[in-house]
C-alpha cells in the first residue's frame, strides 16, 4: 500500500508531456513546380537574296498576307527568282520616299499569273522602313516586282477614305538582315536616260543581279520589326 502511494505521488510530480510532443511534425508544404515560360516559335518563312553586292534577308508575313507570301515563295522555291534584278532606286525622290525595286527584267515567261491585292487596312501591316512590298500599277496586277522600303512611306498604306486608287501597296514582309546591302543598292550608279515616266533617272546601271533566292532558318537575332501595326 505504501509503495502504491509513493508511485502515485511520483507520477503526480512528473512534468506533463504536451500532447503535441507525442505527434509527428507536420509535413512541409509542397514546393510548387517552376513555371516554364511559353516561348513562341517563329514559323514565318525567311529568305536570303544573294546579290552582286551582298546578301539581304527578308521575313515573310505568311499569316497576315498569305497571297503575296505564297506568290513570292513560288518564285523562290522554283528558283525562277535566280537572275532577277534590283533595277530601280528612288534616290532622286529625296529622303521621304526611299525604296529599291526588284523583279523579272528578262524572260516574261517566268512570270506566274497576277495575284489578288492585299491592302494594308485588311492585313494590319504597314509601309514602314524595311517593309517588303508588292509593286503594282493597279490593284490585282502584281506579279514579280517588289519594293524594299528604306524609309517610312505612310502614303503607300491603303486609305479607303480617299478617292481614286486608295488601295495602297501590299506589305507582306520586311528586311531583317543586310540593311547595309540595301543601302549600297540604293546608292548604286544610275542611268540618266533609261526608264519611262517617273522612272527616268532611277534605273540602276548596271542592275544588281539576284544570284540566288533560298529559304533559310530564322536568324537568332532577327529584329521584331515594324510592319505589324500596334493593336493589330
Q: Where are the domains of the chain?
A: 46-107+131-156+166-216
SS3 119: coil
**Residue 61 has what pLDDT?**
98
Gap between the terminal Cα atoms of the chain? 96
Judge whether 210 and 81 are in contact, CB under 8 Å.
Answer: yes
Task: Write down the pLDDT at residue 23.
Answer: 60
Predicted pLDDT at 33: 72
Which three cell numbers mark 185? 543598292
CATH top class, domain 46-107+131-156+166-216: mainly beta
Instruction: Locate 17 and state its grid cell.
Output: 508531456
Q: Is the Cβ–Cβ distance between 131 and 174 less than 8 Å?
A: yes
Cell matching residue 89: 532606286
* pLDDT tens digits, one per residue of 29-80: 777 777 766 667 899 999 999 999 999 999 999 999 999 999 999 999 999 9
| Residue 168 backbone zone (phi > 0: left; psi -120 to 50: alpha; other: beta) | left
Distance separating alpha carbons of residues 100 and 84, to the nearest angstrom: 13
Burial call 172-188: b when 16+ CB within 10 Å, e when fewer: bbbbbbbbebbebbbeb
The residues, ordered by sequence, that sit 6+ positions from 228 with a Cβ below 8 Å of its Cβ are: 61, 64, 124, 125, 126
Beta bridge partners of 134: 146
Which residues of the chain carry a pLDDT beneath 70?
A: 1-27, 36-39
The pLDDT score that the predictor gives to residue 22 is 53
Query: Distance of CA 176 to CAs 57, 97, 100, 118, 173, Å?
Result: 6, 20, 15, 22, 9
Task: Specify the residue for cell string 507570301.
Answer: 69
On whether the CB atoms of residues 92 and 85 are closer than 8 A, the answer is: no
pTM above 0.85, yes or no: no
**Cell output for 80:** 525562277
* 25, 193 Cβ separation under 8 angstroms: no
d(CA 164, CA 166): 6
Amino acid at each position: 500500500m505504501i509503495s502504491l502511494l509513493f508511485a502515485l505521488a511520483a507520477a503526480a510530480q512528473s512534468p506533463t508531456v504536451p500532447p503535441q510532443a507525442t505527434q509527428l511534425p507536420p509535413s512541409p508544404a509542397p514546393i510548387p513546380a517552376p513555371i516554364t515560360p511559353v516561348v513562341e516559335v517563329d514559323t514565318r518563312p525567311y529568305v536570303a537574296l544573294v546579290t552582286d553586292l551582298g546578301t539581304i534577308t527578308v521575313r515573310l508575313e505568311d499569316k497576315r498576307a498569305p497571297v503575296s507570301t505564297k506568290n513570292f515563295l513560288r518564285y523562290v522555291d522554283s528558283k525562277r527568282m535566280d537572275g532577277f534584278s534590283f533595277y530601280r532606286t528612288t534616290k532622286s525622290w529625296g529622303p521621304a520616299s526611299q525604296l529599291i525595286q526588284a523583279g523579272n527584267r528578262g524572260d516574261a515567261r517566268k512570270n506566274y499569273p497576277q495575284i489578288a491585292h492585299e491592302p494594308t487596312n485588311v492585313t494590319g501591316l504597314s509601309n514602314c522602313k524595311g517593309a517588303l512590298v508588292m509593286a503594282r500599277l493597279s490593284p490585282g496586277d502584281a506579279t514579280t516586282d517588289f519594293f524594299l522600303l528604306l524609309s517610312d512611306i505612310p502614303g503607300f498604306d491603303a486609305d479607303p477614305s480617299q478617292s481614286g486608287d486608295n488601295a495602297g501597296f501590299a506589305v507582306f514582309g520586311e528586311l531583317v538582315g543586310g540593311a547595309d546591302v540595301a543601302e549600297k543598292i540604293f546608292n548604286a550608279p544610275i542611268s540618266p536616260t533609261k526608264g519611262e515616266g517617273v522612272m527616268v533617272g532611277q534605273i540602276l546601271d548596271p542592275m544588281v543581279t539576284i544570284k540566288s533566292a533560298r529559304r533559310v532558318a530564322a536568324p537568332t537575332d532577327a529584329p521584331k520589326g515594324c510592319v505589324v501595326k500596334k493593336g493589330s
